[in-house]
Each structure stands twice: as C-alpha cells, then as structure tokens.
Amino acid sequence: DAGITQSPRHKVTETGTPVTLRCHQTENHRYMYWYRQDPGHGLRLIHYSYGVKDTDKGEVSDGYSVSRSKTEDFLLTLESATSSQTSVYFCAISESAGRNTIYFGEGSWLTVV
C-alpha cells in the first residue's frame, strides 16, 4: 500500500468556519492531488501539486486553497466552509503525471452543518 495518511479522517464543522485537511506521504512522490467524491459525480480534481510550492487548479477549485511547503505534505484549506463542500476528500500521489498510477489515501469525510 502507498504510504498516504490523511487527517482528520472524519470532521463535522459549522458553516463559515475554516477547515484544513492534511495529506502526508512517505513515498517521496513529486505529484500530490486533492479530489472530492460526491454521489453521481465520481472523483473531481480540486487542486494538485507538481512540487514544493508548485500547485495548479483542478476542475472544482473554487472555495479551496492548497499549500505544499514540503515534499511529503499537501494541505487543503476551506477558507469558509459551506454546506456544498460536504463531501469525501481523497488525497492522492503519483511519481509523475500522466503515465504513472495515482494512488489514493483512505479519504476524509467532511460534513458542514
């Protein structure tokens, strides 16, 4: 199994509060990703990183920011959580983009009430 740890695994928060999800990898992979999974929408890319301090937006990046200060850590922040951000969030890693397999963490269940 790829060494990916997400924290917290479960969180309930109130609308308008900031939330940060953390992803930690032990594989020294260059690429890290944040996806969200919602019923009927599969997995949608929020942001990804191709190196320390190098990030880019995915298809559903509005309302989210990310940071990567170390190779092993990729943080996803919801600046002001909304109910539409209730979802399961998956962190993923790959050695490079495209040809390399993306490996996923176990997911973080976020509920915004």
Partner 1 sequence: AQKVTQAQTEISVVEKEDVTLDCVYETRDTTYYLFWYKQPPSGELVFLIRRNSFDEQNEISGRYSWNFQKSTSSFNFTITASQVVDSAVYFCALSEFTNAGKSTFGDGTTLTVKP
Task: Please state the closest distance from residue 16 (CB atom) to partner 1, in A.
Answer: 28
When asked if residue 107 is in the footprint of partner 1 (CB under 8 A), the reply is yes
Residue from 19, 102, 110, 112 in contact with partner 1 (CB under 8 A): 102
When asked if residue 104 is in the footprint of partner 1 (CB under 8 A), the reply is yes
Cβ nearer to partner 1, comparing 43 with 52: 43
When asked if residue 10 is in the footprint of partner 1 (CB under 8 A), the reply is no
Whole-angstrom distance, CA of residue 77 vs CA of residue 32 = 15
Residue from 21, 25, 29, 31 in contact with partner 1 (CB under 8 A): 31
Check if the beta carbon of residue 64 is closer than 8 Å to that of residue 78.
yes
Report residue 77 CA to chain centroid gap. 9
How buried is 77 (Cβ within 10 angstroms: 0-12 exposed, 13-18 middle, 19+ buried)?
A: middle
Strands (E), the chain: 4-7, 10-13, 19-25, 31-38, 42-51, 54-57, 64-70, 73-78, 87-94, 103-104, 108-112
Cβ nearer to partner 1, comparing 50 with 73: 50
Return the residues of window 57-86 that contact partner 1 according to CB under 8 A.
58-59
Interface residues with partner 1 (CB under 8 A)? 31, 33, 35, 40-45, 48, 50, 56, 58-59, 88, 90, 96-99, 101-104, 106-107
